[in-house]
Amino acid sequence: MFSYIVRRVFQSVIVLLVVGLVAFAMFNFVGDPIDNMLGQERTQEDIDRLRAQLGLDQPFPVQYWKFLMNAAEGNMGVSYRQGRPVTEIISERLPATLELALVSGFLALFFGIVMGVLTAIRRDGWMANTVMTLSLVGVSLPTFLIGILLIYIFSVELDMLPSFGRGEVVEVGNWTTGFLTASGLKALILPSITLGLYQMTLIMRLVRSEMLEVLRQDYVRFARARGLSERVINFRHALKNTLVPVITVTGLQLGSIIAFAIITETVFQWPGVGLLFINAVQFVDVPVMAAYLMMISVLFVGINLIVDLLYVAIDPRLRG
């Protein structure tokens, strides 16, 4: 058990070091930082001075080490495009993305589990068949088309919900939240459905197949023999035992929700980190790209690690 944890943590650190190397390489090889920072009228002296100041004259491992230390302190350089520290820009944008991810994750989990259970119980009903067919179409639909479709129906035709932005936001300390105003909540509906739909179908299919498996087990038959009501059997006995894989998958999907938020944020012009990243790619704003990469990899690797450790904690068979 202990050696497993140590090995897992060690692997995660290696992954982060590799990603850090990629981010560092981006700084050094994609465009010349000296070019980016000095204007047209520069002398060789200026260049040498800045080079020494930035530590670019030092050997590669020393530079890499400094880069990692800076990154760990939250110093990721200055955006080429906005001229402000990257950490500042990202921390401004992060609440929008996290709120969106939270709501869509919740939607996906709730409706995914409910629909998964229902389609498993009434396996051959027309509702189950419709839902399963729709989910197949839903998986092939690109996210941005779903977003555009929702905008067309609910914003253009019905004029019920806003098609872009966060609505009114309230500042709570360093955090801006859209949860506290009516327009903020309204603005959350379409983006969160768009973002959560794919994860919802995934969770639904998983819960369904796990439920079908569990419902065949002996203890469910005995519960039925004891005369327990169908609802107690389905939700208390069967569902509980399907949740372990669901927790794992949901945990892993949390990372992809934040990554796929890039697409949703672009469709709805949602002012989060995803939109920031895509603009950075368009304008080759290397510090922002590198910082986003570092941030998302810490997130992904962290989530993977926690899920793996949780898995061991939940399932005693894996502790060997």
* Interface positions with other proteins (CB under 8 A): 15, 18-19, 26, 29-31, 137, 139-145, 148, 151-152, 156, 163, 255-256, 259-260, 262-263, 266-267, 277-278, 280-282, 284, 286, 289, 293, 296-297, 300-301, 304
Q: Measured between alpha carbons, how far is residue 45 from residues 32, 59, 94 in Å? A: 17, 20, 40
Looking at the Cβ atoms of 121 and 270, the one nearer to other proteins is 270
Alpha-carbon distance of 293 to 234, in angstroms, equals 42
Looking at the Cβ atoms of 148 and 189, the one nearer to other proteins is 148
Looking at the Cβ atoms of 9 and 170, the one nearer to other proteins is 9
Closest approach, Cβ 288 to other proteins, in A, equals 10
Among candidates 215, 209, 204, 206, which has minimal Cα distance to 238? 215
Cβ distance 190 to 163 under 8 Å? yes
Among candidates 102, 71, 64, 103, which has minimal Cα distance to 298? 71
H helices of 151-228, where? 182-215, 218-225
Looking at the Cβ atoms of 137 and 225, the one nearer to other proteins is 137
Closest approach, Cβ 27 to other proteins, in A, equals 11
Closest approach, Cβ 144 to other proteins, in A, equals 5
Looking at the Cβ atoms of 82 and 266, the one nearer to other proteins is 266
Closest approach, Cβ 263 to other proteins, in A, equals 6
Alpha-carbon distance of 165 to 157, in angstroms, equals 19
Alpha-carbon distance of 303 to 17, in angstroms, equals 17
Closest approach, Cβ 272 to other proteins, in A, equals 14
Closest approach, Cβ 259 to other proteins, in A, equals 5
Alpha-carbon distance of 55 to 67, in angstroms, equals 10
Looking at the Cβ atoms of 120 and 290, the one nearer to other proteins is 290
Q: Which two tokens stand for residue 43?
A: 């002398």
Q: How many CB atoms lie within 10 A of CB 156?
A: 10
Looking at the Cβ atoms of 220 and 259, the one nearer to other proteins is 259
User: Phi and psi dihedrals of 85, rounded to 5?
Assistant: -55, 135
219: Cα separation from own chain's centroid = 37
Q: Which two tokens stand for residue 317?
A: 């068979």
Closest approach, Cβ 281 to other proteins, in A, equals 4
Looking at the Cβ atoms of 24 and 117, the one nearer to other proteins is 24
Cβ distance 91 to 174 under 8 Å? yes
Closest approach, Cβ 164 to other proteins, in A, equals 10
Which string of b and e fits 59-72 if b means at least 16 CB within 10 Å? Answer: eeeebbeebbeebe
